[in-house]
Amino acid sequence: MPTETVYGLAGDACNDAAVAGIFALKQRPQFNPLIVHVTDAAMAQRYVAWNDTAQRLSAAFWPGALTLVLPRLANCPLSLLVSAGGDSVAVRCPAHPIARQLIAAFDGGIAAPSANRSGKISPTQASHVRDEFPDSDLLVLDGGASTLGIESTVVDVCDGVASILRHGSITAEEIRAIGVAVEESAEPSSRSPGQLLSHYAPSLPVRLNASQVNANEALLAFGGAPLSGAASTLNLSPSGDVVEAAANLFAFLRALDRPEHAAIAVMPIPESGVGVAINDRLKRAAWR
């Protein structure tokens, strides 16, 4: 299903077989839990124990790119697999109209990790999903290119304190601006196992903070003065806008990831606003 962040591999979050099928298709490690997508806070409360912080954050940012990790209700009907056997659930209310219609028509939580094989680049177009799983009989709902292009911000609010587990489209500053205090974990968190270092990996090596281009390198440029000499160049944002850069990031990484190039050189991206999430994804793409 399309969402405004990235495409998701969707299944009934209460159905063990459906959720197991998602893990199998993605080849995702079973210790990495899934996000459950809901239409609103009321649907989320069928599954998780709500609190004041969740209420304030959902009122400000839902529908939108904010995922809240909360305790499972004692009699939670969700598959235990969505929690990877743990006692919390990540819930998110997407803004994309097709995702919203799908969840509303189904009238229940939909588990959906990003629709890529585990460790690979997240898809932001329907064609990326088909390319990722060429041999499966997936039904791909084509909702156009994802407008935000980078995944949701994952915030643990289990104990009422907001702690960022994954940087994403919604920034820590935006959360603080509504008066909610935020803890940012510097380390990839074991509480959010998806935050392993190697992730979002193209086949080619990725070289960050490039100030020159080497022989046969492709260039992922940013801003008004792209480096010269690249075998192929795509500019994330000629005007230097990090929001535009986020929307282009995964599609451009896929497009440059071609065997005729030696590597992908990436120009520096400012560490401000959604630039924090972009740099987080690029670091993981470069790690090997």
Dihedral angle sign, alpha carbons of residues 4, 166, 202, 81:
negative
Question: Could you say which of ligand TXA, Mg ion, none residue 285 binds, taking C-beta under 5 to 8 angstroms by partner kind?
Answer: none
Q: Which residue has the tokens 């959906």?
A: 112
Rule CB under 6 A: is residue 79 a binding residue for ligand TXA? Answer: no
Q: Which residues inside 99-118 make contact with Mg ion, applying CB under 5 A?
A: 114
Indicate which single residue of 39, 58, 79, 114 sits in contact with ligand TXA (rule: CB under 6 A): 114
Indicate which single residue of 22, 76, 93, 112 sits in contact with ligand TXA (rule: CB under 6 A): 112
**Candidates 44-52, 188-196, 215-223, 255-263; binding stretch for ligand TXA (CB under 6 A):** 188-196
Indicate which single residue of 46, 80, 95, 193 sits in contact with ligand TXA (rule: CB under 6 A): 193
- Compute the distance between CA of residue 46 and CA of residue 89 in angstroms, rounded to an integer: 12
- Compute the distance between CA of residue 186 and CA of residue 6 in angstroms, rounded to an integer: 24
206 within 8 A of 263, measured Cβ to Cβ: yes
Take residue 50 and report the two structure tokens written for it: 């709500």
Neighbours of 199 (CB within 10 A): 20
- Compute the distance between CA of residue 255 and CA of residue 250 in angstroms, rounded to an integer: 9
Indicate which single residue of 25, 38, 76, 89 sits in contact with ligand TXA (rule: CB under 6 A): 89
The footprint of ligand TXA on this chain (CB under 6 A) covers a number of residues equal to: 30
- Compute the distance between CA of residue 264 and CA of residue 241 in angstroms, rounded to an integer: 21
Indicate which single residue of 11, 22, 33, 201 sits in contact with ligand TXA (rule: CB under 6 A): 33
User: Minimum Å distance from CB 70 to ligand TXA?
Assistant: 8
Q: How far is CA 133 from the centre of its chain?
A: 18
Indicate which single residue of 14, 53, 92, 237 sits in contact with ligand TXA (rule: CB under 6 A): 92
User: Minimum Å distance from CB 89 to ligand TXA?
Assistant: 5
Take residue 32 and report the two structure tokens written for it: 């990495």
Write the CA distances from 244 to 104, 201, 247, integer angstroms: 30, 21, 5
Rule CB under 5 A: is residue 67 a binding residue for Mg ion? Answer: no
Nearer to ligand TXA, 36 or 264 (CB): 36
At 92 the three-state DSSP class reads: strand
Indicate which single residue of 58, 79, 83, 233 sits in contact with ligand TXA (rule: CB under 6 A): 83
- Compute the distance between CA of residue 253 and CA of residue 122 in angstroms, rounded to an integer: 10
Q: Name the residues that contact Mg ion, by CB under 5 A.
A: 114
Q: Name the residues that contact ligand TXA, by CB under 6 A.
A: 3, 5-6, 8, 32-35, 67, 69, 83, 86, 88-90, 92, 94, 112-114, 151-152, 154, 165-166, 191-195
